[in-house]
Amino acid sequence: MDHGETAGIALEAELREAVRLQQFELHYQPQVRIANREVVGMEALIRWAHPTRGLLLPAAFIPAAERNGLIVPIAEWVLRTACAQTRAWHQAGLPTLTVAVNLSALQFRQTGFVKLVSGILKSTGLDPCFLDLEVTKSLVMGAPETMMARFNELRELGIVLSIDDFGTGYANFGHFMNFPLDQLKIDPAFVHGLPASVESAAIARAIVSMGSSLGVRVMAVGVENRHQADFLRSIWCEYAQGYYYCMPLPAGEFQAWARNAAGDADADARETDREFMLAA
């Protein structure tokens, strides 16, 4: 057995323990309407509160969990927690928030997945239109008919479906055209180069124009500065998420941030009304 295999087995044992002891937490990153910074939702991002290594990012354990199958119970916990938290925020007066959850490929392929999702929505009381499932390119591109039927069932439940990390590489365009889609999320790799990179700018423009011809929303991910935000706004990209607006936050901090932001948006709206009245 080589070193890599030994490390893999050790990680698997630790992950199993983490599932049993519920050592995971969700952080939430705001998603905003670029024009007025109104908060429209948040992406739920998993962290592992490791007993000795501190808070671990998904890259440190999600790929392993997808390989050894532990992603199935982990992903169920993520869905349940994200839906319950969002419902609680709605009840606490933050009614317009939609929660985006990254879909695990392995979980999606389990029979009974649609039933699981509808059961979670029922038990948490969250209206399906406030759940946004983010699908990866490989799931869309590799989806046989049975999987496409599953996406359609999710859509029929009223759930929002997004394609994450959208960019180049959609060779099989036909597949994607049949997909019951609500939103495209521009891959941070292209947002990063904006506005200077001619290639990134061309790709961002192409995605926005594709979104408008398909009648779907477009959200840029990984927006880090005002230049990127201004450029995105100038090409009519409507939504964004990134450090420029806010880092992913633990639930309590997110709630405080969202309340504050809602207050700011109200103040902006009042200011606009006032200007309008003064001008009239």
Q: Which residues bind ligand C2E (CB under 6 A)?
A: 29, 45-46, 57-59, 62, 75, 78, 102, 104, 134, 164-165, 188, 221-224, 242-243, 248
Q: Please check whether residue 132 is in contact with residue 101, taking contact to mean a CB–CB distance below 8 angstroms.
A: yes
- Which is nearer to ligand C2E, 87 or 215 (by Cβ)? 87
Please report, as residue ranges, which positions from 158 to 177 form the binding site for Mg ion (by CB under 5 A): 164
Give me the sign of the Cα torsion angle 7, 9, 14, 15: positive
In 3D space, the residue among 165, 90, 92 whose CA is nearest the CA of residue 131 turns out to be: 90
- Which is nearer to ligand C2E, 45 or 140 (by Cβ)? 45
Using the structure block, give the residue that is written with the tokens 């998904």: 58
- Which is nearer to ligand C2E, 104 or 124 (by Cβ)? 104
- Which is nearer to Mg ion, 41 or 204 (by Cβ)? 41
In the list Mg ion, ligand C2E, none, the entry touching 104 (Cβ below 5 to 8 angstroms by class) is ligand C2E
- Which is nearer to Mg ion, 14 or 27 (by Cβ)? 27
Give least dist CB 3 to ligand C2E, A. 25
Phi first, then psi: what are they for 217, rounded to 5°?
-75, 155
Q: Please check whether residue 77 is in contact with residue 51, taking contact to mean a CB–CB distance below 8 angstroms.
A: no
- Both structure tokens of 79: 């869905």
CA distance 182 to 67: 29
What is the separation, in whole angstroms, between the first and last Cα of the chain? 79
- Interaction between residue 187 and Mg ion (CB under 5 A): no
Give least dist CB 133 to Mg ion, A. 10
- Interface with Mg ion by CB under 5 A: which residues? 102, 134, 164
